[in-house]
Structure 1
Amino acid sequence: MKKHIPMKKFSQNFLIDFNVIKEIVKFINPKSHQTLVEIGPGLAALTQPICNLIDELIVIEIDKFLLERLKKYAFYSKLIVFYQDALVFDYSKLLNKRNKLIRIFGNLPYHISTSLILCLFERINIIKDMNFMLQKEVAERLVASPGSKLYGRLSIIAQYYCNIKILLDVSPKCFKPVPKVKSTFLSLTPYTNYFPYFTYNIKVLSYITNLAFQKRRKILRHSLGKIFSEKVLIKLNINPKLRPENISILQYCQLSNYMIENNIYQKYISI
């Protein structure tokens, strides 16, 4: 088969380590009755072993040359192929056709991974779980706790929606071409029965966290001062002298709910 030249604009770093591939497939644990979606099948490192275990796999790929390459594999008949950008793909149509929550996995292009995950959170009600290979720093931001330098808006929004588990750290040597960063494979499972956090509207929580972390070196009294007075912060048991990274997700939800309960949000955001 003709050699594929990785395209920089798509951040293509292909997984080539057989043992890592085997571990990832084991973590995903695909079943034939499930609706599985792979974002960026690439050179089929995960596609092929997954297809050995199930009868149908949906793949989304933006590189037409890689899609042409897929046609040469024996398992191609098991694929439902979409030549599209995963950031604008309509995932809801997959649910409508099968009436099953979808499982999404993939070795994500690092330049779109954060945007894609935030995009998928907007469709969280149709997703059973997500299993992704990410840049290690992005994975650490997703699971970061208050007080950490990596804790930020992405940590809060991600942990609001999902239980997140780091499953496997992966060396750059396991990819071709070799990336300059380390990678991590993790799972994100949306909460269903038990929700550790609550806000009336995620848009308000997103607005507050965005505002706070735009000025993460400033204390809350200053970064959120245009919305919350020092008196209100103290009333909510939030120290106005703390920086944004020292405030828990629960406390950010309190701020969000206070804005809604007191109709403050209307001055700043439409929901």
Structure 2
Amino acid sequence: MIIKNFKKHYPLKKYGQNFLINKNIIQDIIKIINPKKTQILVEIGPGLAALTKPICQLLEKLIVIEIDLSLLDLLKKRSFYSKLVVFHQNVLNFNFIDLFCKKNQLIRIFGNLPYNISTSLIIFLLKQITVIQDMNFMLQKEVAERLIAIPGNKSYGRLSIICQYYCNVKILLNVIPEYFRPIPKVHSVFINLTPHHISPYFVYDIKILCYITKNAFQNRRKTVRNSLKKFFSERRLIQLDIDPNLRAENISIAQYCRLSNYLYKKLNNS
């Protein structure tokens, strides 16, 4: 079932635009998001309003962030435009903490994310996770697999660790390329990221965790004995119950947290 009133808009590659057009998938996504009138919802990249219109029908106001001025001009012609609070800007510069302070309420974020910024955007949002209730995104399947990957999986890396440190991540829908226009060369999935209510992990300083994982995965072919030797001796790794012969992708999130906390204490006691 395809949207018949698909508006003509020349998709811009620099914005990674692929518009969702399948009505059944759109309905499935609305059910998953399940917006409530009292909630603060923000849509990243409303595009041609495939999700915007039906969600507007369930809310008094919907906040949208769109960088493409031509798409905003199309939105202005739609009957539901009066329900929108529009920000014409790059979402990577948007201050969600400021929005939370104004609304005094946790924010729900959703959208069909542009492929070209999806990874950097998720990292950007994780830095503001304290004001976010949940996130529901359409993503390139490869990116989603990195988010949910576990140790030993080839997709497991820094993004897996940092994302799972903050959130519970679930893939909810698989979406074929033909459900978009233009048709992308990749498959997509719809995912949910919900911040942990009680985190299974703890670090004193998330920056140290990011720094250690960056060094480990920059040299992922090396064993941690070599990739992390400027931080930990082989003896220290063994004392921290980490096999020095393992590679970065074989170290669990809990183990990376242990390394991070040891280094934090070492730096703060020196």
Indicate if the aligned counterparts of 1:166 and 1:187 stay in contact, CA closer than 8 A. Answer: yes
The aligned amino acid for 1:123 is Q
Query: Which residue number corresponds to residue 103 of structure 2?
Result: 98
The partner residue of 2:28 within 23, 38, 41 is 23
Within 1, Cα distance between the matches of 2:20 and 2:235?
Answer: 53
Aligned to 2:247: 243
- 1:206 is aligned to 2:210: yes
2:51 is matched by which residue type in structure 1? L
CA distance in 1, matches of 2:177, 2:232: 45
5+ unaligned residues in a row in structure 2: which ranges?
A: none
Q: Distance in 1 between matches of 2:128 and 2:230?
A: 31
Change (3 A) 1:203 1:96: same
Q: 2-side partners of 1:85 and 1:205: how far apart?
A: 28
Structure 1 counterpart of 2:237, from 233, 236, 241? 233
The letter for the 1-side match of 2:181 is: K
**Counterpart residue number, 2:173:** 168
Q: Note the alpha carbon deviations across 1:1-43, whole angstroms, 9 max, x for none.
A: 8621111110100000000000001000000100000000000
Conserved? CA contact 1:134–1:184, under 8 Å = yes
The answer to whether the 8 Å contact 1:38/1:106 transfers is yes
Which residues of structure 1 form unaligned runs of 5+? 267-271
RMSD of aligned Cα (Å) = 1.2
Q: Percent identity?
A: 63
Aligned length: 265
Distance 2:93 2:269 in 1: 28
Question: Which whole-Å CA distance do the structure 2 matches of 1:195 and 1:226 have between them?
Answer: 29
Give per-residue Cα distances to partners, 1:216-263, cap 9 Å, x unaligned: 010000000111000000001100000000000000000000001111
Q: Amino acid of the residue matched to residue 22 of structure 2?
A: D
Instruction: Measure the CA separation in 1 of the matches of 2:203 and 2:103.
Output: 30
Displaced runs of 4+ in structure 1, greater than 4 A? none
How far apart, in 2, do the equivalents of 1:86 and 1:42 lie? Answer: 14
Give the alignment's TM-score, normalised by structure 1. 0.96
In 2: Cα distance, 1:261 partner to 1:145 partner:
27
Amino acid corresponding to residue 170 of structure 1 in structure 2: V
Q: Normalized against structure 2, the TM-score is what? A: 0.96
Amino acid at match of 1:165: K
Please point out which of 13, 17, 26 is paired with 2:18: 13
Q: Which residue of structure 2 aligns with residue 269 of structure 1? A: none
Name the SS of the counterpart of 1:81 in structure 2.
Answer: strand
Q: Following the alignment from structure 1 to structure 2, what is the Cα–Cα distance between the partners of residues 241 and 170? A: 39
Is 1:151 the counterpart of 2:125 in the alignment?
Answer: no
In 2: Cα distance, 1:265 partner to 1:151 partner:
32
Alignment of 1:60-71 (within 5 A): 60-71=65-76
Contact 1:259 1:265 in 2 (8 A): no
Q: Does 1:122 align with 2:163?
A: no
Q: SS at 2:48's partner residue?
A: coil
SS in 2 for 1:217: coil
Shift of 1:81: 0.1
